[in-house]
Structure 1
Amino acid sequence: MSDTADTTAADTPAAAPLLRIVRGNPSDEEVAVLTSLVAAAAGSSNSGPVETGPRDDWGRPEDRLRPVWGAPTSFTNLRA
């Protein structure tokens, strides 16, 4: 059984690195901070539930700026 476990581990390709440093000579602490920032940014993109229902626009603040159609004063500005 140990022969099959050794060949399976040797046959699987290595996983791609999370990030690659192209320039500079960062310390171990700097690499750790960079890795944690990248991991946190990747994890926070799916942080909340996605709303899939219809959008409810009732009571939006923009609605109070629109003219009221059908009111007695709604057509007073038609004459130029």
Structure 2
Amino acid sequence: MTEQSAPFLTVVKGSPSDEEIAALTIVLTAAASAGGGAPESGPTDLWGTATDMHRTDWGMPTSYVHRG
């Protein structure tokens, strides 16, 4: 005895062609496998965040930041 699963797609309105259903299935499958996973665990990369532009300069008056 084989177990049947729920359909992947259900057409509610209209009559799409076999090619249109195939294209939609491919797009939805690719979208689910590309970004549907859990985010990577590891250190957060905050390099280049917008808050870095609001930080004040630091260092000695003779440091590279204060040369002009």
TM-score by length of 2: 0.58
Which residue, out of 19, 22, 26, partners 2:16?
26
> Can you give the 5+ residue segments of structure 2 that lack an aligned partner in the other structure?
61-68
| Per-residue deviation, 1:45 | 1.7
Number of equivalences: 61
| Per-residue deviation, 1:23 | 0.4
Q: 3-state SS of the aligned residue for 2:28?
A: helix
Query: Matches of 2:9 and 2:45 in 1, distance apart?
Result: 42
Question: Is 1:53 matched up with 2:42?
Answer: yes
Question: Is 1:63 matched up with 2:63?
Answer: no
TM-score by length of 1: 0.51
- After superposition, the CA RMSD in angstroms is 3.4
Q: Which has the larger radius of gyration?
A: 1
